[in-house]
């Protein structure tokens, strides 16, 4: 059994779906997306979906600005719903981080980010329930918020189908075929051979083993990042803003039904490698308690919130905590992985950049900082927090 297509995309998370949509929009015919389970069943379906804009480089800032514009008008730009809630985001930093924050925001404003540095004392006018005590400054991003990663994936997938893309779920790629240094197609778990001059690895947490099928090693560590769900007290009032407390080491984002999703911003996920198949597994009460204490210090009213549940999430982390978006040394074998915890908020721009690179067009944003071959050392440096301020 065999067939031929132009492009095979491996992985039906938000990355693969966005690439499929943008390839169809760029006029590529015969795109086939293969997902071994169901759309958004990987990291995408376990994501917290926060869209913050603070990034240390011009290129990543431009990526998030373009992506935010899509989330804001997803129905017109793509179709379907993004579930985007522009509640605003606040990012608290320590006194020692303040100078770096101010320099970064200056750079970011030049590429269109709307953000304002507040004195801790001024925080009360935006979100009085955050404790300003240990903060040196607070960044306010009025347009930031959170979205629904599963809805965005489905929106991109439906629009891709309308553009002629074939999406097959329950189909696993088990081999990648090569002729010398060129990719020639894939083989599936059902025994089918699919010839294709272009194969895209968008397999998220599974991208390293998928790359190995083509003889390519990715410098990616899959690191555990648990998420905890708490129920706010009925007297809490209106939902809080998204709050990322870089000084205290936790984040909180509101969810419908009086819930809040929270997690750690101090752990170094690279020190906690996780088997991807454990995605969604239970978490222990001990680890929840530690994070909830930090969240309760950041937003004291949440100290009274009731713990509901948690799950094991994980990030696919590169040495510089930025995605790999580019062609591998095997010609025609493209990588869109190593999202390092940013893969939802960057997904529109990632799909746009990948499609441009694949068709040989010049991407709107310089792709060099995301190139496959950029790593001198393979060991990760810094932690997730480094991706905010460098
Ligand atoms: C707990 C958690 C919180 C997060 N919070 C945020 C956040 O607040 N903001 C943000 O921007 N990002 C966040 N992220 C990151 C973001 O959600 C991810 O980077 C993004 O969703 C990854 O999408 P993906 O499509 O690259 O990978 P995935 O969603 O993992 O998709 C990969 C797909 O490939 C499939 N696959 C694997 N192997 C094969 C194969 N051999 N054949 C066929 N299919 C295969 C898998 O089944 C899977 O569906 C978070 C992630 C987690 C886990």
Using the 8-state DSSP alphabet, how is residue 296 labeled?
H
What tokens were used for 47?
């994501």
Using the structure block, give the residue that is written with the tokens 């990030």: 315
Q: What angle do CA 193, 373, 321 make, to 5 degrees?
A: 100
Q: Which pLDDT score is estimated for 61?
A: 97
Q: Which pLDDT score is estimated for 382?
A: 73
Among candidate residues 98, 107, 150, 63, the one with its CA nearest the CA of residue 342: 63
Distance 98 CA to ligand 1 centre (A): 32
Among candidate residues 225, 279, 203, the one with its CA nearest the CA of residue 45: 279
CA distances from 366 to 123, 258, 372 (A): 35, 41, 14
Question: Has residue 1 got a pLDDT over 90?
Answer: no
What tokens were used for 303?
């100290």
| 172 Cβ closer than 6 Å to some ligand 1 atom | yes
Using the 8-state DSSP alphabet, how is residue 235 labeled?
G
Distance 202 CA to ligand 1 centre (A): 9
Q: What are residue 17's phi and psi, to 5 degrees?
A: -65, -40
As a whole number, the mean pLDDT across the chain is 96
| 12 Cβ closer than 6 Å to some ligand 1 atom | yes
Question: Has residue 389 got a pLDDT over 70?
Answer: yes
Distance 110 CA to ligand 1 centre (A): 30
Q: Which pLDDT score is estimated for 390?
A: 79
Give the confidence band of 386 by pLDDT, cuts at 50, 70, 90: confident
Q: Is residue 198 within 8 Å of 7, Cβ to Cβ?
A: yes
Give the confidence band of 218 by pLDDT, cuts at 50, 70, 90: very high
Ligand 1 atom index nearest CA of 346:
11
What b-and-e string marks burial along 185-207, b requiring 16 or more CB atoms within 10 Å of the CB? bbbbeeeeebebebbbbbbbbbb
| 210 Cβ closer than 6 Å to some ligand 1 atom | yes
Q: 3-state SS of 9-34?
A: EECCCHHHHHHHHHHHHCCCCCEEEE
Distance 43 CA to ligand 1 centre (A): 3
Q: How far apart are CA 378 and CA 98, in angstroms?
A: 30
Question: Has residue 268 got a pLDDT over 90?
Answer: no
Q: Which pLDDT score is estimated for 88?
A: 98
What tokens were used for 317?
């982390």
Question: Has residue 204 got a pLDDT over 90?
Answer: yes
Q: How many Cβ atoms are within 10 Å of 320's Cβ, its own excluded?
A: 22
Q: Which pLDDT score is estimated for 6?
A: 98
pLDDT tens sequence across 334-359: 999 999 999 999 999 999 999 999 99
pLDDT tens sequence across 34-61: 999 999 999 999 999 999 999 999 999 9
H or E, element range at 351: helix 347-359
Q: Which domains does the chain have, with CATH numbers?
A: 2-47+150-217+320-389 (3.50.50.60), 87-143+222-317 (3.30.9.10)
| 265 Cβ closer than 6 Å to some ligand 1 atom | no
Using the 8-state DSSP alphabet, how is residue 241 labeled?
P
Question: Has residue 381 got a pLDDT over 80?
Answer: no
Q: What is the mean pLDDT of residues 188-206?
A: 98
Number of alpha carbons in the 13 Å side-chain half-sphere of residue 48? 30
Q: Which pLDDT score is estimated for 378?
A: 67
Give the confidence band of 374 by pLDDT, cuts at 50, 70, 90: very high
Q: Which residue has the higher pLDDT, 390 or 246?
A: 246
Q: Is residue 113 within 8 Å of 61, Cβ to Cβ?
A: yes
Q: Is residue 264 within 8 Å of 249, Cβ to Cβ?
A: yes
- Ligand 1 site-directed mutation target among 204, 212, 323, most atoms within 8 Å of CB: 204
pLDDT tens sequence across 79-102: 999 999 999 999 999 999 999 999
What tokens were used for 379?
């060991």
Q: What is the mean pLDDT of residues 94-113?
A: 96
Distance 9 CA to ligand 1 centre (A): 14
Using the structure block, give the residue that is written with the tokens 């998220």: 204
């Amino acid at each position: 059994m065999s067939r031929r297509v132009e492009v095979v995309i491996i992985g039906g998370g938000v990355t693969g779906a966005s690439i499929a949509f943008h390839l169809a929009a760029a006029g590529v015919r015969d795109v086939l997306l293969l997902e071994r389970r169901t759309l958004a069943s990987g990291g995408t379906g376990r994501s917290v979906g926060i869209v913050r804009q603070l990034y240390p480089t011009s290129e990543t800032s431009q990526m998030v600005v373009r992506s935010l514009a899509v989330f804001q008008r997803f129905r017109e730009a793509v179709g379907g719903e993004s579930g985007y809630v522009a509640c605003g985001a606040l990012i608290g930093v320590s006194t020692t981080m303040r100078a770096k924050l101010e320099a970064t925001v200056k750079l970011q404003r030049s590429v269109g980010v709307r953000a304002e540095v507040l004195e801790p004392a001024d925080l009360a006018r935006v979100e009085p329930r955050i404790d300003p005590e240990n903060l040196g400054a607070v960044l306010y991003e009025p347009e930031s918020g959170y979205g629904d990663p599963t809805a965005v994936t489905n929106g991109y997938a439906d629009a891709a189908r309308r553009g002629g893309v074939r999406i097959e779920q329950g189909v696993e790629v088990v081999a990648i075929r090569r002729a010398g240094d060129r990719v020639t197609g894939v083989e599936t778990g059902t025994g089918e051979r699919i010839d294709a001059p272009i194969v895209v690895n968008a397999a998220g947490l599974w991208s390293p083993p998928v790359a190995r099928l083509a003889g390519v090693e990715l410098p990616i560590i899959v690191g555990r990042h648990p998420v905890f769900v708490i129920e706010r007290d009925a007297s809490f009032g209106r939902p809080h803003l998204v709050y990322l407390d870089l000084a205290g080491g936790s984040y909180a984002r509101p969810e419908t039904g009086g819930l809040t999703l929270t997690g750690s911003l101090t752990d170094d996920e690279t020190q906690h490698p996780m088997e991807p198949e454990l995605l969604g597994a239970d978490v222990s009460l001990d680890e929840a308690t530690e994070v909830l204490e930090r969240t309760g210090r950041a937003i004291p009213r949440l100290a009274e919130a009731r713990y509901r549940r948690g799950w094991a999430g994980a990030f696919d982390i590169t040495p510089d905590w930025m995605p790999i978006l580019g062609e591998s040394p095997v010609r025609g074998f493209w990588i869109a992985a190593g999202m390092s915890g940013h893969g939802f908020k960057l997904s529109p721009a990632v799909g746009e950049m990948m499609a441009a690179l694949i068709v040989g067009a010049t991407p709107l944003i310089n792709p060099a900082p995301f190139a496959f071959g950029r790593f001198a050392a393979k060991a990760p440096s810094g932690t997730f927090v480094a991706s905010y301020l460098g």
